[in-house]
Amino acid sequence: MHGLTFDIAHMLAGSLVLVSFMQLYQDRLYALLNIFALHALVLAASVGWQAFIQDAPHLYVTALIALVFKAIIIPMALHRIVVKLGIHREIETVVGVGPTMLLGMGLVALSMVVMLRVTADADPLAREDLAFALAVVLLGLLMMVTRRNAVSQVVGFMSLENGLVLAATGAKGMPLVVEISVAFSVLIAFIVIGIFLFRIRERFDTVDVQALDRFRGERR
Amino acid sequence: MALIHDLLFQGAEMLLVLLLAPLLTGFVRKVKARLLRRQGPPLIQPYRDLIRLLRKDVVLAENASWLFRVIPYIVFAGTWVAASLVPTFRSGLLFSWSADLIAIIALLGSARFFLALAGLDVGTSFGGIGSSREVMIASLAEPAMLMIVFTLALIAGSTQLSSMAAFMVSGEAGLRVSLGLALLALIMVAIAENARIPVDNPATHLELTMVHEAMVLEYSGRHLALIDLASELKLLLYVSVIACLFTPWGIAPPSAGASAIGIGVASYVIKLAVGGTLLGLFETAIAKMRVFRVPAFLGVALMFGLLGTLLLFVSRSL
Amino acid sequence: MMVVYSLYGVAALLAMAPIAIVLGASPHRAGVATSFVYGGSLIVTLTLATIALLSLSQYSSSVSIVTLPIGLPWLGAHFRIDALAAFFLLVVNLGGAAASLFALGYGQHEHSPQRVLPFYPVYLAAMNLVVMADDAFSFLLSWEFMSLSSWALVIAHHRVNENVKAGYIYLLMAGFGTLALLLGFGLLAGSDGNYAFDAIRTSHSSAALAALVLILALIGAGSKAGVVPLHAWLPLAHPAAPSHVSALMSGVMTKVAVYGFIRIAFDLLGTPDWWWSMVVLSVGGITAVMGVLYALMQHDLKRLLAYHTVENIGIIFIGLGLSLAFKAHGMPVAAALALTAGLFHVFNHSIFKSLLFFGAGAVLNATGERDMEHLGGLIHRMPQTAFAFLVGCVAISALPPLNGFVSEWLTFQAILLSPQLPSWGLKFLVPAVGGLLALSAALAAACFVKAFGVSFLGRPRTPAAAKARETDSNSLAAMFFLAALCLVAGILPGIFLDALAPVGKALVGMSMPHQAGLQWLTIVPVAESRSSYNGLLVFIFVVLSGSIAAFAIHRLASDKLRRAPAWDCGYPDPSPATQYTASSFAQPIRRVYGTSVFRACEIGEMPPPGATAPARLTVQMHDLIWDILYKPIAVGIGYATEKLNVLQFLTIRRYLTLVFTALVLLLLVLAIWP
Amino acid sequence: MIDALSGVLIVPAVAAALLAALPNYRVTARLNVLAALLTFSTAVSLFFVQSESGPYLLVDDLNKVFIVLTTFVGFTTSAFSASYISHEIEIGRLTPTYVRFYHAMYQVLMFAMNLALVANNIGLMWVAIELATLTTVLMVGIYRTHEALEAAWKYFILGSVGIALALFGTILVYMAARPVIGEGASAMVWSVLITRAAQFDPALLNVAFVFLLLGYGTKVGLAPLHAWLPDAHAEGPTPISAVLSGLLLNVALYALLRFKMLLALNPAALAPGPLMVTLGLISCVFAAFMLYRRRDIKRMFAYSSIEHMGIIVFAFGMGGALANFAGLLHMTMHSLTKSAIFFAVGHIAQVKGTQKIADIGGLTVTNPVLGWGLVLGVVAIAGLPPLGIFMSEFLVVSSTFVREPWLVIILVFGILVGLGGMFLRLNTIAFGEPRGPTAPAEASYLPMFAHLAIVATAGIYLPPALVTGFENVARLLG
């Protein structure tokens, strides 16, 4: 029995990493948004599973938030933003997709190495989960720094945060998980609104580059 | 009693150098004239000049300051005191320990300092030439002299002229390379300090070449007399320093009878004569050099001095 | 007990600052504030000087110590007056008193007193505190505080851009020096931080450590004292301040720096290996010669004086280096002689350098000129100032019978003892250093012939110089007081040497033979057969023979005197412009030394025959030390800032990349961590 | 029950609600000061009224120091902000509505920071710090100028990432603690963690510390995570710049120190010292160089804050009784001095109507009090005696030089370069020919000179009580 629960949890977490990779792979915005929805979905599933095996009912709330807010609302909002602001449909990358994937591999390996140094007596479930969570977090960051579109960066941030939630839920009996996920949802809402308010068409870059050159006393 | 006795000798010494100084100058001139097949002025000509100058009244430039009038006395007094501190015919004079060789050189330095100021006081261009060249020469001559003092002091273990002379006459020093170098350097410095050929020509008033004369250009009458006397004293001083350090024979010890002192005086006069003759020979033999060759000339002296000091350690580690 | 009284004095000085601020706030009460501050500091410094003198005289009985509950907690502020401190307190407060007296007159002409008055007493207090401090913290605190207050005084005339720049460089160098000293004390105190000097004295440091600390002390104290090549700030900052402050900085603060070096090198440190003394010696020699050569090339009177401070610091350090060498070889007598020579020169230099700066200040006041090329003939307009200045010139040129000569003579005597040193390096180095010393002395004489001759003698070169007026009585009083001290210290050195005996005993365990007993007040460094000097006798001797000659001539020969136009080989030259200027006076020496040291080159433009254009002679000189040492640093920092400045203008994504990279790097570190 | 401990939370919370409700900005300004004063007095009472720590709130020597410092600077800053804001309204840079919002936010910020300091639960602490971040983001953007919004945005993004990293670290700590302490909230409680830290899994702790270091280090403003700091300081209202430099950085640092203590207790874990020392040195030297080409006066002092944070982190990273003491002292002195400087700068910017250094000159002539105040502040921040920072820098350098000569030489180099950059600008700002408008300033000098007076006193005399307190903390930090 325990073996099965472990395997399922493991599988879900692993698939989250996989989805992160799929995100890295995308070069169309809409596709990216869809993949992110999938990401959130998988997260919801794994959180739900954790709730089940730890029989911690409050985790279901987190799962629900993940499902409704991240898998449905946010992607739709972003969709609308893309339409409204007429953002290019394809994603400008700093590093090509191939190298990005390789970097991603490296990061996953790194997170494995780091985590496997954890002594095994801390229960394996947590250990594996953490390894995957770390991988997701790093991949999210990688996405933020290698994609130029504001939208894709938001997506990156959100998948990073999914990793956090995964870790938090994986940590058996951790308090405040729900609060934290709420807090983060607020944070993301802020970001999305911010993008909408500031009319950040293409990238975060534009804002401050222009500001630097036009407004600041710090002109070179 | 002893004190009076010593004072007596000190006074005698002072008078002696004062009297002999013009004579030495006259003698050198005579020698040079003879070497040039000229009759030359009589030996006592310098005395006559001095007396004549003293009798004339002073013609002072309009904007000459009080300093300008005081300086001749300072220069004369400084040089005279310095000269009378050198043991000539009798070592261990009363005041000889009141200033060692370094102090004597410094005394001459003060005299030069004021003389250079005098050159600048009236505010003429020639005075400026003289002073600036004089201090340039001095800035090389003084270190050279100090190096020589080092060499000798390290050999004799003292900077006190009397004890140095005593050491030399005792023959412990022996014959050394350092001593030779020091002697050479000392002679070169002496020539430069006394404004003799080849560094300077005391007999010229050709503005581009003169150094010492340019400084004292504005002086006249008794002031000029004092300054001339001072320079004559300086020449005597250097000759007698060389004599007392390198040919210390015949200098009477402090506890000496009349005969010894007589010998001392006689030998001293002879030394002066020899020194004067050699100087005359040297001066007639070579020509004056350009002003900006002088640094090279004195640099050689400096090198000799330094070399002498360093060679000491090699020849005998003290 | 003494130290408590001194601390009261310091407190009084500190208390003056706020009062000065209040008084100086309203312009019409500036005069009151000025006389209050300077009068007050005059009184206090005189008191402190007497205290110092007393404690120096009765030193052998007791060292007075006090600990205040301030400063570092768990340590407190230790203050202590021993022989060394007492001597330097004397120097500081003597200079301070003279400066205050001078400023009583001079300060009245200050046009922005509210920028000078509050800082002046604080500055004096800080210098006193440095000398009294007996633990690392109080020492460095007072040390840096001294720099800070003097910085405020340097930029008192802040509307002149050069002054602010000078202050900037000064502050940087001061910070540099302080940090060097801080590192040194860090080594001495160890990681558990026993900063009290007593603790440091008792804990014996290894030779290597001692050497390192010695070098740090040389850098730290040397940069404040103006040791070449750390002197760059000095000729900029000292002239920038008001003249009485310049006098304090040059005459007194550099001595406080020397004190710092002595305190560390002789008192706190175990004796380092002999060859470190070679560093000090060669630095001293180079400093002496470089300083005077720089000075010869100047025609700004105050800057010339500042460069001479560098020279004299070099001479002092030669003495100290010799003393270290002798000490390292266990020759206490010789060490005592060298140390005494150095300390006596400290005293002398503080006297005549203050005197000279006062003179320069008086001239600046009377003519508004610091550039010698615009002066001349002042001896007619301000004879008393001229006389005092002349005394200073003779003294600093190391000419008998004044005091400068005595201390240099003693240094020479110490040098003559060098053959007894066992180590060959020193055997060869010391005579060479002696040569440098002699060279610097001769050049100094040349330089002051120029300084005095060009600015006081000759004919006025500008209307300002022609209309100069004699300065006020207070300033004159200060100058003549110092001039008298120069003479006294010159003809009665024995007294001063005996006063210095306890210092030598305390630091090198020995002191020079007692001088007072000798007949005719002669001084004998080692033995009468070796060498002896009697300034008094020489002085009397010269004066007597001079006056006898004058009397005799005026009585027997003529005493008539006619005024006539200058003869000058028959060239009539109406214009004062034909006089020798400072730069033309220095030209032969510049040709001899400058070509190599400053890359000096003269470019003469002759107009073609018949052309009416004037011929020009331009002299180009490079300050090699500045070019080699300081410029690259400035350029390097400029370059680094240029490059790093890019980081202000990145995009958010790039900043995130920085964070990301940092994270990955740290994780990698974890991954490969054993 | 309401003891002093919960008092420092309740007062600001209530005040915030009130301020949000009240319309009149003059009243709110006064109320703001009052509330801050009240908070401060409650905090002080912590020393006298013994209040015990529960599962959520904690009080020990360490956070007492921080709380008192925070509330004090919060109080003085509110006093300064009263006069500052009134001027802002006169010139119409702010509307009363925004001022209302501003005051409310100010108290929320106070609440958040106090919460972060007294929180006994690492999760709670994290939440508090995030709250503080969000409030400051809003206040930085309050001028609604393009630069302000841009700065706020940058701050927001970088801050969120930092927060995320910190959270991950927190989770890891929990994971490490759980096997030892058991599931549930108690595995996140300080007072429990600290007792059992020795048995935690070292590897997990290491990873946790890396994330916490970067996460909270972003808030501390350590290079290369500093990017948000200069702009946030430069574009926000000056009181907020003062609070940011003076307080928020400290709060983040406090969190960092807590976790450092945790790691220090676990012998098998990697020593946190070297990491902190490295980041500290990088920040110190980097910021020192960045001082040179600054043209905006507030941005320059923001960089100096980075430099000093670097020095402080270096000191704590080196560890040891003396170094820790020095670090605490330096932190306190820096908070006071830097906020005083920002008070001065705020009024200067108002008098001159600009923050461009090029347009400000000769202040000691035109506005002597402000000018000399600024000079004094810069002298203090540059570590010149007889002011407090000299003492702390003395202790840092001299106590660590024997242990790590080369590192200390780097540090000293950074300090020296920083001194140069600071005074290079000060020369033109305070001295030389006056530039810009020369109207006399209507300003409240009291807060500024109060701070400077404290700093000056501390430079030569530290009250024994304070010393013992600091020594206890230094011992706690190990």
Predicted confidence band of residue A119 (pLDDT cuts 50, 70, 90): low
Domain that holds residue C103: 1-187+244-252
Yes or no, beta carbons of D167 and A144 under 8 Å apart: no
Q: Does residue C271 register a pLDDT over 80? A: no
How far is residue C485's CA from residue B98's CA, in Å, rounded to a whole number? 21
With respect to residue D315, please indicate whether it lies within any of the assigned structural domains: yes
Q: Does residue C170 register a pLDDT over 90? A: yes
Which of these, C400, C401, C303, C317, lies nearest to C357 by C-alpha position?
C303
Q: Does residue C573 register a pLDDT over 70? A: no
**Overall average pLDDT of the A69-94 stretch:** 82
Q: Does residue C441 register a pLDDT over 50? A: yes
Q: Is the peptide bond before A124 cis (omega within 30 degrees of 0)?
A: no
Average pLDDT, chain D: 91
Q: Is C487 on the interface with B (CB under 8 A)?
A: no
B37 CA: distance to closest CA in chain C (Å)? 31
C240 CA: distance to closest CA in chain B (Å)? 29
Q: Does residue D326 register a pLDDT over 90? A: yes
The answer to whether the CB of C559 falls within 8 A of the CB of C553 is yes
Among the ranges given (C35-49, C90-104, D140-154), the one the predictor scored with the smallest mean pLDDT: D140-154
How far is residue C407's CA from residue C490's CA, in Å, rounded to a whole number? 9
Yes or no, beta carbons of A123 and D179 under 8 Å apart: yes
With respect to residue C636, please indicate whether it lies within any of the assigned structural domains: yes
DSSP-assigned states of every residue in B85-151: TS-SSBSS-TTGGGS-HHHHHHHHHHHHHHHHHHHHHS--HHHHHHHHHHHHHHHHHHHHHHHHHHH
Q: Is C506 on the interface with B (CB under 8 A)?
A: no
Alpha helices in A96-210, H assignment, sequence order: 97-116, 124-146, 150-170, 177-198, 204-210
Q: Is D299 on the interface with A (CB under 8 A)?
A: yes
C646 CA: distance to closest CA in chain A (Å)? 9
Yes or no, beta carbons of D158 and C655 under 8 Å apart: yes
Write the DSSP symbol of residue D377: H
List chain A residues with CB under 8 Å of C667: 110-111, 114
Among the ranges given (A211-215, C140-144, C175-179, D61-65), the one the predictor scored with the smallest mean pLDDT: A211-215
* Same domain, residue pair C606 and C650: no
Domain that holds residue D285: 272-478
List chain C residues with CB under 8 Å of A153: 653
Q: Does residue C212 register a pLDDT over 80? A: yes
With respect to residue C55, please indicate whether it lies within any of the assigned structural domains: yes
Q: Which residue has the higher pLDDT, A179 or D129?
A: D129
Give the model confidence (pLDDT) of B201-247 as tens digits. 777 766 666 788 888 888 999 999 999 999 999 999 999 999 988 88
* Same domain, residue pair C12 and C64: yes
Quote the pLDDT of residue C673.
Answer: 76
**Overall average pLDDT of the B169-194 stretch:** 86
The tokens for A70 are 């991240």
Q: Does residue C242 register a pLDDT over 90? A: yes
The tokens for C263 are 């305190």
What is the number of domains present in chain B? 1
With respect to residue D157, please indicate whether it lies within any of the assigned structural domains: no
A198 CA: distance to closest CA in chain D (Å)? 9
List chain C residues with CB under 8 Å of B97: 522, 528, 532, 534
Q: Are B and D touching by the rule of 3+ CB pairs within 8 Å?
A: no
Count residue pairs from B and C with Cβ separation < 8 A: 279
Chain D, nearest residue to A160 by Cα: D164
With respect to residue D361, please indicate whether it lies within any of the assigned structural domains: yes
What is the number of domains present in chain D? 1
Chain A, nearest residue to D138 by Cα: A190
Quote the pLDDT of residue A125.
Answer: 65
Yes or no, beta carbons of C172 and D419 under 8 Å apart: yes
Yes or no, beta carbons of D416 and C176 under 8 Å apart: yes
B23 CA: distance to closest CA in chain C (Å)? 19
* Same domain, residue pair C101 and C156: yes
The tokens for D41 are 């007095």
Q: Is D227 on the interface with A (CB under 8 A)?
A: no
With respect to residue C653, please indicate whether it lies within any of the assigned structural domains: yes
Give me the residue from D218, D230, D400 closest to C659, CB to CB. D218
Q: Which residue has the higher pLDDT, A208 or C326?
A: C326
Quote the pLDDT of residue C62.
Answer: 65
Count residue pairs from C and D with Cβ separation < 8 A: 167
Q: What is the identity of the amino acid at A119?
A: T
Yes or no, beta carbons of D322 and C193 under 8 Å apart: yes
With respect to residue D261, please indicate whether it lies within any of the assigned structural domains: no
Chain D, nearest residue to C666 by Cα: D210
* Same domain, residue pair C668 and C585: no
Q: Does residue A219 register a pLDDT over 50? A: no
Chain C, nearest residue to A206 by Cα: C651
Quote the pLDDT of residue A215.
Answer: 42
Yes or no, beta carbons of C191 and D275 under 8 Å apart: no
List chain C residues with CB under 8 Å of A209: 651
How far is residue C187's CA from residue C193's CA, in Å, rounded to a whole number? 9
* Same domain, residue pair C8 and C85: yes
Give me the residue from A107, A114, A205 closest to C653, CB to CB. A205
Predicted confidence band of residue D288 (pLDDT cuts 50, 70, 90): very high
Which of these, C257, C219, C236, C339, lies nearest to C88 by C-alpha position?
C257
Quote the pLDDT of residue C552.
Answer: 92
Among the ranges given (A205-209, C339-343, D122-126), the one the predictor scored with the smallest mean pLDDT: A205-209
Residue with tokens 């005595």: C406
Quote the pLDDT of residue C622.
Answer: 87
Chain D, nearest residue to C186 by Cα: D398
The tokens for C97 are 């008193």
Subunit partners of chain C (3 or more CB pairs within 8 A): A, B, D
Compute chain C's Rg from CA coordinates.
Answer: 27
DSSP-assigned states of every residue in D241-266: HHHIIIIIHHHHHHHHHHHHHHHHH-
B108 CA: distance to closest CA in chain C (Å)? 9
With respect to residue C121, please indicate whether it lies within any of the assigned structural domains: yes
Give the predicted TM-score (pTM) of the model.
0.93
Predicted confidence band of residue A208 (pLDDT cuts 50, 70, 90): very low
The tokens for C252 are 């007194």
Q: Which residue has the higher pLDDT, D280 or C270?
A: D280
Q: Would you call D456 helix, strand, or coil by DSSP?
A: helix
**Overall average pLDDT of the D227-245 stretch:** 92
Give me the residue from D290, D402, D420 closest to C191, CB to CB. D402
Subunit partners of chain A (3 or more CB pairs within 8 A): C, D
Give me the residue from A114, A144, A209 closest to C667, CB to CB. A114
Quote the pLDDT of residue A93.
Answer: 77
Yes or no, beta carbons of A205 and C651 under 8 Å apart: yes
Q: Does residue B317 register a pLDDT over 60? A: no
Q: Does residue A43 register a pLDDT over 70? A: yes
The tokens for C391 are 């005394």
C18 CA: distance to closest CA in chain D (Å)? 14
With respect to residue C389, please indicate whether it lies within any of the assigned structural domains: no
With respect to residue D340, please indicate whether it lies within any of the assigned structural domains: yes
Q: Is D295 on the interface with A (CB under 8 A)?
A: yes
Which of these, D419, D287, D408, lies nearest to C147 by C-alpha position?
D419
Quote the pLDDT of residue C182.
Answer: 95
Q: Does residue A220 register a pLDDT over 80? A: no
